[in-house]
């Protein structure tokens, strides 16, 4: 099996974490799988994650921090795993920067594109599963499930802008993106993911 780079995206509370473990188990039957996340995935990037999620900072600092974490993660974990023919599952990647820092915070998308090129040197996911649902539904799920971090405390308008940011990225890369209707039940979401994987012969 040749390498695959699969990312999971969507607003907080969309249900990504619920499905990553079962997909990891399914793909592990076909070859070695590395399951990782952003920001994070290396000791340095996990340290940056803690600051990113819990310290106040201006939007440009936030953007630079997440791309610094991404660079370390790509160099030390993602690229070596793909070079070894492994499957990499990553909970969030650069689409999240376009959605949250671009859509949510209003950062200049041209700056984001430049950082994307510098940091990734052409690397893009082979498949992005986009868990899409209204911000209000995601907020209800989060409220029932956990304490909010710095991002999860944002209002519904912020998350609708993030959602629109994802929609714009999906429209720009329709071959890479698979939109999952994440407002449905856990079983229905799992069935949609399975259908996407089967379409690709995975």
Ligand X SMILES: Cc1cn([C@H]2C[C@H](O)[C@@H](COP(=O)(O)OP(=O)(O)O)O2)c(=O)[nH]c1=O
Binding residues (CB under 6 A) for ligand X: these are: 12, 37-39, 66, 91-92, 96-97, 100-101, 149, 151
Asked if residues 94 and 70 have their Cβ atoms less than 8 Å apart, the reply is: yes
Do 159 and 138 touch, CB atoms closer than 8 A?
A: yes
The angle that helices 156-172 and 135-145 make with each other, rounded to 10 degrees, is: 120
91 is in an annotated binding site: no
Choice from 1, 17, 21, 149 touching ligand ADP (CB under 6 A): 17
Q: Was 122 annotated as part of a binding site?
A: no
- For residue 104, give the nearest of 51, 65, 62, 49 by alpha carbon: 62
Q: In what order do the strands lie in the sheet with 33-37?
A: 33-37, 87-91, 4-10, 127-132, 177-181
Q: Closest distance between ligand X and the C-beta of residue 38, in Å?
A: 4
Residue 184 is given by DSSP the state S
Q: Which residue has the tokens 């376009």?
A: 98
The pattern of x and - marking residues 144 through 173 that bind ligand ADP according to CB under 6 A reads -x----------------------------
For ligand ADP, give the closer residue by CB, 156 or 186. Answer: 186
Binders of ligand ADP in range 48-87 (CB under 6 A) = none
Ligand-binding annotation for 13, yes or no, is yes
Tell me how far, at minimum, the Cβ of 176 lies from ligand ADP, in Å. Answer: 19
Q: How far is the CB of 145 from ligand X (least distance, A)?
A: 10
3-class state of residue 36 by DSSP: strand
Kindly state the smallest distance separating residue 134's Cβ from ligand ADP, in Å. 13
- Residues binding ligand ADP (CB under 6 A): 10, 12-18, 141, 145, 185-186, 189
């Amino acid at each position: 099996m040749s390498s695959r780079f699969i990312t999971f995206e969507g607003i907080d509370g969309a249900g990504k974490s619920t499905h990553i473990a079962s997909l990891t188990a399914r793909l592990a039957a076909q070859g070695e799988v590395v399951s990782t996340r952003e920001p994070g995935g290396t000791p340095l990037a996990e340290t940056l994650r803690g600051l990113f999620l819990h310290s106040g900072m201006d939007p440009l600092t936030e953007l630079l921090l997440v791309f610094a974490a991404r660079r370390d993660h790509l160099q030390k974990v993602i690229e070596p795993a793909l070079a070894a023919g492994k499957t990499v599952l990553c909970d969030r990647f650069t689409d999240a920067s376009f959605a949250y820092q671009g859509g949510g915070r209003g950062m200049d998308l041209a700056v984001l594109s430049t950082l994307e090129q510098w940091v990734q040197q052409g690397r893009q996911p082979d498949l992005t599963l986009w868990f899409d649902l209204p911000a209000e539904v995601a907020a209800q799920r989060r409220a029932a499930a956990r304490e909010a971090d710095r991002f999860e405390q944002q209002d519904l308008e912020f998350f609708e802008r993030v959602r629109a940011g994802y929609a714009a990225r999906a429209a720009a890369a329709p071959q890479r993106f698979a939109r999952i209707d994440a407002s449905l039940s856990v079983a229905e979401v799992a069935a949609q993911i399975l259908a996407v994987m089967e379409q690709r012969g995975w």
